[in-house]
A and B are shown apart, each in its own frame.
Chain A
Amino acid sequence: MLSPVFLSRLRALLPAHGVLHEREDLVPFESDGLSAYRNVPDVVVLPEDEAQVVAVLKLCHAEQVAVVARGAGTGLAAGALPVDGAVLLVLAKLGRIKAIDPLARTAVVEPGVRNLAISEAVAPHGLYYAPDPSSQIACSIGGNVAENSGGVHCLKYGLTVHNILKLRAWTIDGQLLEIGSDALDAPGYDLLALLTGSEGMLAVITEITVKLLPRPERAQVMLAAFDDVAKAGAAVGNIIAAGVLPAGLEMMDRLAIQAAEAFVHAGYPMAEALLLCEVDGVNEEVSADIHTVREVLAASGATGIRTAESEAQRLKFWAGRKAAFPAVGRLAPDYYCMDGTIPRAQLPHVLRRIGEMSAQFGLAVANVFHAGDGNLHPLILYDANQPGELEKAETFGGRILELCVEVGGAITGEHGVGLEKINQMCAQFAAPELARFHEVKAAFDPGKLLNPGKAVPELHRCAEWGAMHVHAGRLPHPELPRF
C-alpha cells in the first residue's frame, strides 16, 4: 500500500486529474490487452510532459516505490499489468508529434503517439513508418519500442529495432540517456538495441526518433490455396529460395480460413491452407516478382492461385487475414493467442504436433502465421466460464511455446514476455543467461524498481516450474536447487 504522504507528494508533481486513486478510475487500468491477467493498480499517474515524467521517477526512486510504465495498454503479454504497491505510469498523454523532417526521412515523436498516426502525419510527404502491428490503430509507439513490435511486413522491413534512430530515456533515478543519434549509428554500446524490447525494465522513454520510408510505388497480393498445410509451408521456403523477399507472407489453416470467410466474406476458397503473398516496390520489380511467385506457387502444388486485380480486391484479401483474430473469436467465448517463432522448415512438424496436442487437450486451435518470418499465432479456443478451461488453455499454450524452443525457435516473436510467458523463459534460457539478464537490469536499475517481476524469471521460479515440467526424463535446470 502506498502511504498518504507519498500520494500527496505525487499529486504535487502533476496537474489535477493527473493522479487517479479512486477505485472506479483505476479499474480501466487493471489489465493490458491480455485481459486474463488483472490487477487493479494502487495509483495511476498521467503526466503530460517529460518534466512531469522525470519528477515522478525521481520521487519514486527517493521513496523506493516501483514504477510500471504503460502506453496504450494494447500489449498481449501482461507486460503492463499493474504491480501491487507500484505506481502505474501511463504515458498516453505524451502524444505530440514534435517534428517531421521529410528530407532526412525522420519524425520525432512522444511515446503516446499512436503507431498509425505517424504514417498518417507523414503521408503528405509520400513517406510512412514501416512496422505495422495489427493493433496499429490503437497501440502507441512507446509501447512498440518497449516490445520491439513487428507486424505483417517484418520479413522485408524489419521490427521496431530496425526502424528507430534515437531515444530520450530516463533511468529510475532521473538520469537522461540520449541513445542513438540522427546519424545511422552512435558511439559506444548499442543501447538502442538493448532498450528496444526491454519491456519497461531498464528505463522510461519520453521521445523517439523514427525512420520513415518512401511509400512503395505498387503493392500486389496473391492468394494461393493448398490441400495440405505441409505443402503450403514448403511453398514459403520455395518463394524465398527463388530470391524473392515478399513484403508480407501470411498463412492460415482451415479453421482460421472458415472463421475469416464467415466473418468478412473476403472471397477465400475453402482449403486446408491459404497463403497470402504480398510483393511491393517499384512497378517493374513487382511485376517481375509476381511472375516468379506465381511459378513457384504452381510448382509447389497450389490448387488455386489468384492475384488481386484491383486495390479494392487487394484490401479484401487482406481484410480476411487482418480480421482473423476477431473472426476466430466468434467461434468460442474466449481465445488465447500464442506468439512462438520457429525455423520455417519446422512448420509441418510443429503444425502436426499442435494438432495432436489439440486433440489431447480437447481444445480447438486455429492457426494464423506470419509464415515468412516463422512467427506462429496459434489461437486456442476455450470458454473461461467452464471451470478449469483457462488453466487448460494456458497449459496447452505453454506446451506450444516449449515445442517452439525444442525445434530451435523462440517463445515470443513480437508480443514480448511480460508476465504471461515468464515460465517459458525457463525453457528458452539456461540459468547463466537468466542471471545475466538480471545483471543487465541491475546496470540500469539496481533497486529493481522498474516493472518488477516481469520479463525475466527469478531462478527459484524456474526451479519450481522445472520440477513440474520434466521433459524426456531431463530436468531443464539440473544445476539448480529444488525447493
Chain B
Amino acid sequence: MLDSLIERIRAAHENHAPLVIEGGGSKRFYGNAGAGEVLSTRSLAGVVDYQPRELVLTARAGTPLADIDALLAGENQMLAFEPPHFGSPPQPSRTWGERAAVTPEPIHATLGGALATGLSGPRRPYAGAARDFVLGVRIIDGTGQPLRFGGQVIKNVAGYDVSRLMVGALGTLGLVTEVSLKVLPRPAEELALQFELDEAAAIVKMNEWAGQPLPLSATSWHAGVLTVRLSGAAPAVRAAHAKLGGEVLGDAAAFWQRLRDHVTPFFDRRPLWRLAVKPSTPPLGLGEAQWIEWGGALRWLASEHPAATLRAAASAAGGHATSFRGDALHDGVFTPLTPAMLAVHRALKLRFDPRGILNRGRLYPEF
C-alpha cells in the first residue's frame, strides 16, 4: 500500500500532476478548494503499536479516529486534544455541497485528517493542541521520497521539529502516512456546570478561573450561558463544584461532543468564521450569533461581515480569522501572511514539494 502511494506521488511529480490528498473526507470543506486527482489514504489504516504504559500510540494515517478513540477508551486513555470528527452525519457545506450531499455512506474522520488540519477540540487550552501530542511522523514528500522524523519518545530534540511542522500544513509539505502520538489517562470524573452570564462577564470569568488552580478542562459560552467542564479525581471535581457553584448539566458528554463536532444548529449557519484571539479579549461586538470556546481564545461567528472587517478585528485582538465554512475568498480562507512569512512558507514548500503537486493552494493560493 505504501509502495503504491510512493509510486503515485513519484509519477505525479514527474508529470507535474497535482494531487488532492483525502482520508475520510470529513474535513473536505476546510481550507481552500484543491484541484487534482484524489489520492486516498483510506487503505493506509490500522494501529501499528499501542503501549498504554508508555502513553504512546502509533497508527497509520487512514485509521478512523473513532477506532482510535475506542481502543484508547479500553485502556482508560484518550487523545487529550479531542480532535473534531466532523464526520457522520455528513455535514454539507457551501463549498463542497454537491459532493457531500450525494455521499451515500457515513463519513469517518481519520487520524491523518486530524493531523493535517491540526484542529483540536474543547480540551485544547487546558491539555494542549494536536501539535503538542505529536511525537513523530512518517511522510512521503512531493517527490515520492519517504521520510521519517521524530520518534516514539516523549522528549526528543535531535534535528528540527519537522513532525510538528506537518501538523496543520494541510498536506502541502508531504503525505503523512503514520503518526506517533502521546496519549493521556482519561480523568476519573467529569462534570459540567452552567452559569447564566453575559458575554463580557463570561470572558472575564473564564480567564480568571484559568489563572487559579482549578481542574478546568473545557469552557463554552453561547446565548447567555457559560458552560464549564471540570475533570479529575472525584473529590477534586466535587471541591471545585462547591467553589464555583452553578447548575449541573445532565448528559454533559453529549454536549461537549456536539460542540467538538459542530453538531448543533448554530454551526449550520453560513458563512461560519473562526476567530482565534487573545483569550482575555473583550466582546468583539461583531454581532449576536457567536459561540465562544477555549477560555475566550476561540470565537465562532456566523457573520456576513466582509473578510477584511473580521480579519482586522482578530488581528487587533492578537490573533487571526479563518473563513471556516463559507464561500471561497480570492486571497484564501486563512489570514494572509506577511511577505517575509510568505517567503519562508514558499521556501519550505519548495524543499518538500518542489513541483507543488501536493494539495496545491489548499493552505494558501500562492502555493
Give me the interface of A with B, judged by CB distance under 8 Å.
Answer: 101-106, 125-127, 147-148, 150, 154-155, 158-159, 161-162, 171, 175-179, 181-191, 193-194, 196-198, 201-202, 214-217, 237-238, 240-241, 243-245, 281-285, 287-289, 341-345, 370, 373-375, 408-417, 421, 425, 428-430, 432-433, 436-437, 439-444, 455-456
Contact = CB atoms under 8 A, between A and B. Distances in A.
Contacts of A289: 233
A399 to B, nearest CB: 16
Interface residues on B, range: 35 or more
Contact of A184 (B129, B212, B351): B129
Contact of A440 (B158, B233, B280, B348): B348
Contacts of A413: 153, 155-157
A147 B157 contact: yes
Contact of B160 (A104, A370, A440): A440
Contacts of A408: 151-153
Interface string B143-165: 00111110111111111111011
B153 A343 contact: yes
Interface centre among B131, B164, B317, B320 (most CB of A within 10 A): B164
Contacts of A285: 215, 232-233, 235-236
A414 B319 CA distance: 30
Closest 4 CB pairs of A and B: A182-B318, A183-B319, A193-B164, A413-B155
Given A104-B278, A188-B334, A281-B215, A343 B167 contact: no
Contacts of A189: 165, 168-169, 173, 345, 348, 363
Contact of B158 (A103, A193, A428): A428
Contacts of B329: none
Contacts of B153: 341-343, 373-374, 408-410, 413
A105 B216 CA distance: 15
A429 B165 contact: no
Given A189-B168, A197-B160, A345-B51, A184 B211 contact: no
Contact of A178 (B151, B294, B338): B338
A441 B351 CA distance: 10
B316 to A, nearest CB: 11
13 contacts: A181-B276, A183-B298, A183-B318, A184-B125, A187-B334, A190-B165, A240-B185, A345-B51, A410-B156, A412-B157, A440-B160, A441-B160, A443-B344
B55 A187 contact: no
Contact of A343 (B124, B152, B234): B152
A337 to B, nearest CB: 15
B155 A243 contact: no
B297 interface: yes
A428 B159 contact: yes
B341 interface: yes
A345 B149 contact: no
A291 to B, nearest CB: 9
A475 to B, nearest CB: 19
Contacts of A343: 51, 54, 56, 152-153
Contact of A125 (B76, B211, B276, B338): B211
B340 A176 contact: yes
B84 to A, nearest CB: 14
Contacts of A417: 157-159
A181 B319 contact: yes
A188 B148 contact: no
A71 B162 CA distance: 24
Contacts, number: 275
A187 B337 contact: yes
Contact of B277 (A182, A190, A202, A345): A182
Nearest to A196: B161
Given A193-B165, A284-B238, A408-B152, A439 B351 contact: yes
B213 interface: yes
Contacts of A147: 157
Contact of B155 (A187, A196, A374): A374
Contacts of B239: 282-284
A411 B343 CA distance: 32
A127 B319 CA distance: 23
Nearest to B336: A187
Contacts of A215: 213
Interface string B313-337: 0100111101000000000001101
- Count chain A CB atoms within 10 A of each CB in B118, B146, B156 and give the residue with the most: B156
Contacts of B159: 417, 425, 428-429, 433, 437, 455-456
Best-surrounded residue of A188, A373, A436 (most CB of chain B within 10 A): A188
Nearest to A375: B155
A184 B298 contact: yes
A343 B156 CA distance: 11
Contacts of B317: 182-183
Nearest to A176: B340
Given A185-B168, A198-B160, 15 more contacts: A104-B278, A185-B276, A198-B161, A243-B185, A281-B236, A282-B239, A284-B236, A285-B235, A285-B236, A343-B153, A410-B158, A425-B158, A433-B148, A436-B351, A442-B347
A102 B160 contact: no
B184 interface: yes
A183 B320 contact: yes
